[in-house]
Amino acid sequence: MSSRPSDTIETTAIGEAAASERAFAVKLLEAEAACVRALAENLGSEFHAAVDLIVQCADAGGTVLVSGLGKSGKIGEKIAATLSSLGIASHFVHPAEAAHGDLGRFRATDICIALSYSGETDEVVNLAAILRQDHVPVISITRGGPTGGTRATLERIATVALAIGACDDPELSPAPTCSTTATLAMGDALALCAARRRNFTDADFAKRHPGGSLGGLMRPVVDALRFVVGSTLKTVRDDVTVAEACRLSETAERRPGAILLVDAQGVLTGLFTDGDLRRLVERDRTALDRPIRDVMTRKPGTLPQSALVRDAVAMVREHRRDEIPVVDSAGRPVGLLDVQDLIAQKLIRDS
């Protein structure tokens, strides 16, 4: 049965609307990306000076206080949260509230990151002026004035003035878009560079972010092992038969999906999975009497016991491994990581 003309017209209209909407979204995203690219290309000595101030503040036990109004304030909250997660004490301070008591949060060891795209937001400018009078360093992030021209008030007040460039296009949106994206990117760059300068490690991050999937990924892989050699997992010499290896690997606990094969020194030499056993028997029913070293997977992919769970997730995704041996520095197995354990912790999806 053919469709009615009105149905065809409606479908065509929906298709045209979707195409127009996608074209606009692409234009906006490309504009934001171009703004960030320009930001990367124009980083200068002021950026390094700003990182210096953040590092000096953190090393002295101070706090990086971030302030901004409106959309800039929302970006400031995220910058403060990022700094805190990277081991640099940071809080957001509302510029209007600062004049009504929150100035008491600032100490001589602190610094302020002040955000204002125009560089003329009254509340932010007033806060920066008061802080500079009290000798508190201020890092401003603004649009930036023209080269050789008049600089914005906040730029002139600041100890270090960072510019993201004139990137908002009123034809695209009356609301801040490119400017907030660029400001956030600048804040991320400052935070990550300061943390890197202070030798902030993955282990340090894990201590400050133990919850959620991020915290799970930053845990040591040995903490995620359910099958541990000497406790819930047995290793088997690689010079026995397949049948004997299956018998020797049995434990009272839940059976793992693979057998870890070792040499006389206890060094891992191979892996033999349930899937390997099934395929072997399907091909040759007498294969159970063969030496397991002849049919095992030699030099299987392993993880060192110093690895993090995120390394295991990456190996599963890249190489489709269901069982990953974890070994010590001498190559001796310490445990077996089962992909089902990662799925149970919602660190990867079952596909």
Separation CA 187–CA 194 (nearest Å):
11
SS3 content of the chain, % helix, strand, coil (to 5): 50, 15, 35
Inter-residue contact 333 to 256 (CB < 8 Å): no
Binned at pLDDT 50, 70 and 90, residue 267 comes out as very high
User: In this predicted model, what pLDDT tens digit does every residue of 89-113 receive, in sequence order?
Assistant: 999 999 988 877 677 778 889 999 9
Residues 192 and 262 in one domain: no
Residues 173 and 307 in one domain: no
317 or 44, which is more confident = 44
pLDDT at 12: 67
237 or 312, which is more confident = 237
Residue at a domain's end among 169, 200, 231:
200
Considering the chain, what is the average pLDDT of its residues?
A: 85
Burial class (CB in 10 A: 0-12, 13-18, 19+), 150: exposed
Q: Is residue 3 part of a domain?
A: no
- Strands 258-262 vs 235-237: parallel, antiparallel or unpaired: parallel
Does residue 254 have a pLDDT over 80? no
User: In this predicted model, what pLDDT tens digit does every residue of 112-142 receive, in sequence order?
Assistant: 999 999 999 999 999 999 999 989 999 999 9
Phi-psi region of 70 (alpha: psi -120 to 50; beta: other; left: phi over 0): left
Residues 189 and 65 in one domain: yes
pLDDT at 118: 92
Pick the closest to residue 76 from 188, 195, 194, 198 (CA basis): 188
Q: Which domain holds residue 312?
A: 217-344
- For the chain, the domain total comes to 2
- Three-state DSSP class for 309? helix
The arithmetic mean of pLDDT across residues 326-340, rounded, is 88
pLDDT at 185: 96
Inter-residue contact 239 to 293 (CB < 8 Å): yes
Separation CA 331–CA 58 (nearest Å):
40
Residues 276 and 133 in one domain: no
User: In this predicted model, what pLDDT tens digit does every residue of 24-38 receive, in sequence order?
Assistant: 899 999 999 999 999
Residues 75 and 164 in one domain: yes
302 or 101, which is more confident = 302
Residues 29 and 178 in one domain: yes
Binned at pLDDT 50, 70 and 90, residue 155 comes out as very high
Residues 25 and 172 in one domain: yes
* CA of residue 158 relative to chain centroid, distance: 31
Binned at pLDDT 50, 70 and 90, residue 41 comes out as very high
pLDDT at 255: 74
Residues 223 and 169 in one domain: no
Does residue 264 have a pLDDT over 60? yes
Does residue 260 have a pLDDT over 80? yes
Predicted TM-score of the model (pTM): 0.62
pLDDT at 201: 67
Residues 314 and 196 in one domain: no
Separation CA 186–CA 167 (nearest Å):
14
Separation CA 338–CA 103 (nearest Å):
53
Residues 194 and 230 in one domain: no
β-bridge mates for residue 273, sequence order: 258
CATH of the domain at 289: 3.10.580.10
CATH of the domain at 101: 3.40.50.10490
pLDDT at 110: 94
Pick the closest to residue 158 from 84, 49, 56 (CA basis): 49
Q: Is residue 270 part of a domain?
A: yes
Residues 174 and 262 in one domain: no
DSSP string for residues in 231-271:
TTB-EEETTSBHHHHHHHT--SSPPPSEEEEE-TT--EEEE
217 or 60, which is more confident = 60
Q: Is residue 209 part of a domain?
A: no
Separation CA 90–CA 174 (nearest Å):
31
CB proximity list for 283: less than 8 A, separation 6 or greater: none
Separation CA 296–CA 294 (nearest Å):
6
Inter-residue contact 183 to 117 (CB < 8 Å): yes
Does residue 351 have a pLDDT over 70? no
Enter the tokens of residue 3: 């469709």
Residues 276 and 244 in one domain: yes
